[in-house]
Structure 1
Amino acid sequence: MATGPCGLACDACGLYNRGKCASCGPGNSIEARAKINIQEQLGFRCPVLACAITRNIDYCSRDCSEFPCSRYERGPYPLSQSFLQMYRRRSGPQH
């Protein structure tokens, strides 16, 4: 299943299934580098994808000790504030 570093499953997205969007792929993937290059050409850069590539991690919540971070707090996507709060609660005092 195609999944971005943010944890969103591309296979569940209508845009992806209609060929309107390509998967970001894990942060270490060829797909991720291709996606960020296309975004930069369009004048946009997903901060979550860019960070995963820079930190050399595949998936934020699984691989990054700083998840959830300010990149998730600032943006209107990809995860809701209530999910982030729940994640912190369940993760314990380190978050």
Structure 2
Amino acid sequence: MKARLAAFALVITGAAHAAPIPFETYIKLHNGMLEAELVSVAGAPDYGSDSNQGRLASGVATVSTTRQLSWLANGQIPYTTVVTLRDGVVVDIKRDKKL
């Protein structure tokens, strides 16, 4: 019984991590994509971080949301991909090889 629980825990833990983005998918990513389209093509990211920036120009306050989504490398695909979105639109895509 304990062996079954341990095996189940390993399966659940492995399923919690997102897969890295394969090259065939990476080349489909581009600036201007909406976040929903990005996630439908690339899958759920491993990590995400959000930040808000406020600005006051000519008496008008604007707030811009910046979000970074990361897909981490693993043993099969040694590349980490970080996509930056501003107000839900892709503005930067970086891919670095894991050493």
Is TM > 0.5 for Structure 1 vs Structure 2? no
Q: TM-score, normalised by structure 2?
A: 0.21
Between Structure 1 and Structure 2, whose CA radius of gyration is higher?
Answer: 2
TM-score, structure 1 as length reference: 0.22
Which structure has more relative contact order (CA 8 Å, sep 6+)? It is 2
